[in-house]
A and B are shown apart, each in its own frame.
Chain A
Amino acid sequence: MRMIRTTLAAGLGLVAGVALWEGYKAVGDPQGTEILGVRLLPRASDAAMPHVLDILERFGRAELTGGDPIWTVVLAACLFTLRNVAVGFAAGGLVGLLLAVLMQRFRLAERGLLPYVILSQTVPLIALAPVIAGWGGRLQLGAYPWQPWMSVSVIAAYLAFFPVAVGALRGLQSPAPIAEELMRSYAAGWWRTLWKLRLPASTPYLFPALRLAGASAVVGAVVGEISTGTRGGIGRLIIEYSREATSDPAKVYTAMIGAALLGLAVAGVVALAELLLTRRTVVTS
């Protein structure tokens, strides 16, 4: 029942978005609307806002004359990026969770770390990405040299760890004092209290945070690919296609839709994990 309603709502949202897009195209000024030299509304011309159908149709046509259809190119790029997202998401999630556990365990760590955790997200990614790529270039992991995609994953992790750290901390601190006293009365130490009480209690906070982290990891990977110049991913594709925006305006939108779908797919995986891990078989008798 909930499933059906969610799907219905998502479908309605999509229809509304398309309607808004096409509606604006129909009534908007092709040159955009400016008041006192400030552009308030974007150009509604076909070059700036191609028709939805044109974009969909563009998926089917070849990327370059005689090449593969564009949907296969976008799909391949998404899959390439997905690996970076997955590694970044896993690493970021793990770091975030460990930080949260550390901050929950030691008040001092919370006071000392939390400001920096928050500060970390105010550093502009565009400034940070080249630095990470530069550091990575000088690293050597045992016998393996540093790969450019690793820098991308690090950037994805950098964005992903934040919501997890904050959300998990909140969740780990969520048990009522009475529950903590109960564990104490059972002579359960810190570790067992974490495992039996804090972690399960944190799931209502943890999973929304993980969903956010998934989306952040996608953004991080796309931006990371662009700013480190990594080839093969969806970020690179967006940049390449946007150069052709004047001659082939629908093309860049195919890559953007690909990136958006990638984000949705990651969020979907997290939602599925939540469903499986926190399933409660509700008995009504």
Chain B
Amino acid sequence: MTAPAVELTGVNKIFNQGRPGEVTALTGVDLTIARGEFIALIGPSGCGKSTLLRLVADLIAPSSGTVTVAGKPARKARLDQEYGIAFQQAGLFEWRTVRRNVELPLELRGQGRRERRARAEEMLELVGLADFARHYPAQLSGGMQQRVAIARALAVHPPLLLMDEPFGALDEMTRERLQDELLRICGTTGTSTIFVTHSIPEAVYLADRVVVMSPRPGRITGIVPIDLGERTETTRQSPGFFTGITKVRAALRGTEAAVGAER
């Protein structure tokens, strides 16, 4: 058996521990993500979704508990560049062309110029921006920039993809198209994915399992398995899709009720 893509055990994260402004962002998080699995993270604002993602990415360290990625400690996995990450904002380097933005992670891996270029162009083709390779980010719309950021995250063919509300600012049509593109890419490359979103239909449409979180303190309150099989044009109208949405909504309402009871 190969190691799972991601494994969190007993993870707690407390910001500013022992100082004024102490925040318990996550408590007792246990989560195992299988290879090739697509996980959607959903929960009210401030429940620690981004924090969870940043822990997996080793951009911050847990206060206690362990995070392993591909069987390695998160730090080692980061140094081995086991994952690609896309944030809510595109975060492109404005002094680089679109193509050279996508090339950046390859450049840092020491890949040759020609190889880099070919890969970047392939990725831009994938997100439908081949014609914009020589443009600068400022010349693109927000949605196009976001797609460049996704191409950049995918360029190294990471075994793990971390995405923090990447489609948050997009219109519904672009969003749905990108969802399909993303599923196709992950399906063909066998990539494991953690995808943070605020949209219940998006979570249900994309994920194999929807992880529902609740705030104060941030924790996982439920995991809703979704079994829709291959996504097609009819999936969004299928009864299974709506059942999934209802289940996730119920799970989320549970967290709301819990919050209400606290008050």
Contacts and interface: CB of A to CB of B under 8 A. Distances in A.
Contacts of B136: 280, 282
Given A184-B59, A282-B139, A201 B108 contact: no
A182 B59 CA distance: 9
A200 B135 contact: no
Provide the main secondary structure of the chain A interface: helix
Nearest to B136: A280
B59 A181 contact: yes
B222 interface: no
Given A196-B104, A200-B93, A278-B95, A185 B131 contact: no
A179 interface: yes
B95 A176 contact: no
B131 A179 contact: no
Contact of B79 (A178, A187, A200, A282): A187
B221 interface: no
B108 A185 contact: no
Nearest to B149: A182
A278 B94 CA distance: 11
Contacts of B108: 186-188, 192, 196
A178 B87 contact: yes
B91 interface: yes
Interface string A176-207: 10110110111110001000110011010000
B89 interface: yes
A278 B81 CA distance: 30
A179 B93 contact: yes
A182 B85 contact: yes
Contacts of A143: none
Interface string B128-139: 000100111001
Nearest to A175: B93
B40 interface: no
B78 interface: yes
B105 interface: yes
B153 to A, nearest CB: 9
A182 B78 CA distance: 11
A167 B93 CA distance: 20
Given A187-B79, A282-B136, A176 B131 contact: no
Nearest to A188: B108
Interface in A266-281: 278, 280-281
A185 B78 contact: yes
Contacts of A281: 134
A269 B228 CA distance: 64
B95 A200 contact: yes
A203 B95 contact: yes
Contacts of A185: 57, 59, 78, 81, 83-85
B155 to A, nearest CB: 11
Nearest to B95: A200
Contacts of A188: 108
A105 B108 CA distance: 21
Contacts of A184: 59, 78
A45 B4 CA distance: 90
A162 B224 CA distance: 60
Given A186-B104, A285-B131, A201 B81 contact: no
A283 interface: yes
Contacts of B85: 181-182, 185
A107 B77 CA distance: 28
Interface string A151-169: 0000000000000000000
A188 B105 CA distance: 9
A180 to B, nearest CB: 9
A101 B101 CA distance: 24
B86 to A, nearest CB: 9
A192 B81 CA distance: 15
A201 B134 CA distance: 19
Please name the 9 residue pairs, one residue from A and one from B, whose CB atoms are nearest each other, closest first.
A178-B91, A186-B108, A187-B79, A283-B134, A200-B95, A185-B85, A181-B59, A178-B87, A186-B105
15 contacts: A176-B89, A181-B57, A181-B59, A182-B85, A182-B87, A185-B57, A186-B105, A188-B108, A196-B107, A200-B93, A201-B95, A278-B95, A281-B134, A282-B139, A283-B134
Interface of B: 54, 57, 59, 78-81, 83-85, 87, 89, 91, 93, 95-96, 104-105, 107-109, 131, 134-136, 139
Given A176-B89, A181-B57, A184-B78, 20 more contacts: A176-B91, A178-B91, A179-B91, A179-B93, A182-B85, A184-B59, A185-B57, A185-B78, A185-B84, A186-B105, A186-B108, A187-B79, A187-B80, A187-B108, A197-B93, A200-B95, A278-B95, A280-B136, A282-B136, A282-B139
